[in-house]
């Protein structure tokens, strides 16, 4: 982080928002016995891990983490997941990313899972920016921000703390 950066979410606020998102996910999946939390590598997966940790504390849901690898520079390239298709077929799945910017990464992630029959499909992000070029929305979001296109949001995950800041 540079001195000119503005912290938009500190570690405590991120923990609170993660907990709220986990409760929302549990509410919408309370009839399920198992849920797949699929995080978009890299930061989306780190955020998915945080959500999964809270979910395991507050619910009896069996939680499977899945890492979704997308080439963010060229998202039309093939997408891979750490789970085989059969492991999430006909299950409830939440696709997680840290920041929803233009929607490109999230929409290609959604497209990948559209080829698989799922019981329920939702999306979750920590920070939702209002600059989408694709009609994609986050079902669960920590915070929504209206920023300028030149501004950038970074979420820094560390073992001790997580911080979201604006540059």
Sketch the domain layout of the chain as residue ranges: 12-147
Q: Taking the domain 12-147, which CATH number applies?
A: 3.40.50.2020
The predicted pLDDT at position 39 comes to: 98
The predicted pLDDT at position 5 comes to: 84
| pLDDT over 70 at 146, yes or no | yes
Under 8 Å between Cβ of 133 and 107: no
For residue 14, the 8-state DSSP code is H
pTM over the 0.75 mark: yes
d(CA 56, CA 5): 34
Residue 51, token pair as written in the block: 């959500």
pLDDT band at 148 (very low <50, low <70, confident <90, very high): confident
What confidence tens digit (pLDDT) does each residue in 6-47 have? 999 999 999 999 999 999 999 999 999 999 999 999 999 999
The predicted pLDDT at position 1 comes to: 55
Please tell me whether residue 132 adopts helix, strand or coil conformation. Answer: coil
Q: Measured between alpha carbons, how far is residue 59 from residues 21, 25, 27, 141 in Å?
A: 13, 10, 10, 20
| pLDDT over 90 at 165, yes or no | yes
The predicted pLDDT at position 45 comes to: 98
What confidence tens digit (pLDDT) does each residue in 70-129 have? 998 888 888 999 999 999 999 999 999 999 988 889 999 999 999 899 999 999 999 998
């Amino acid at each position: 982080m540079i001195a000119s950066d503005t912290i938009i979410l500190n570690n405590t606020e991120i923990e609170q928002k993660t907990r709220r998102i986990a409760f929302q996910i549990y509410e919408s999946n309370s009839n399920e016995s198992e849920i797949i939390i699929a995080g978009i590598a890299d930061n989306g997966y780190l955020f998915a891990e945080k959500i999964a940790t809270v979910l395991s504390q507050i619910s009896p849901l069996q939680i499977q983490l899945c890492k979704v690898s997308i080439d963010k520079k060229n998202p039309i390239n093939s997408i891979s997941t750490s789970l085989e298709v059969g492991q999430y077929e006909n299950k409830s799945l939440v696709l997680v990313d840290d920041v929803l910017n233009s929607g490109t990464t999230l929409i290609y992630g959604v497209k990948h899972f559209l080829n698989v029959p799922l019981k329920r499909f939702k999306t979750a992000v920590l920070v939702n920016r209002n600059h989408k070029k694709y009609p994609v929305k986050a079902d669960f979001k920590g915070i929504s921000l209206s920023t300028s296109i030149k501004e950038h949001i970074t979420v820094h995950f560390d073992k001790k703390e997580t911080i979201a800041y604006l540059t």
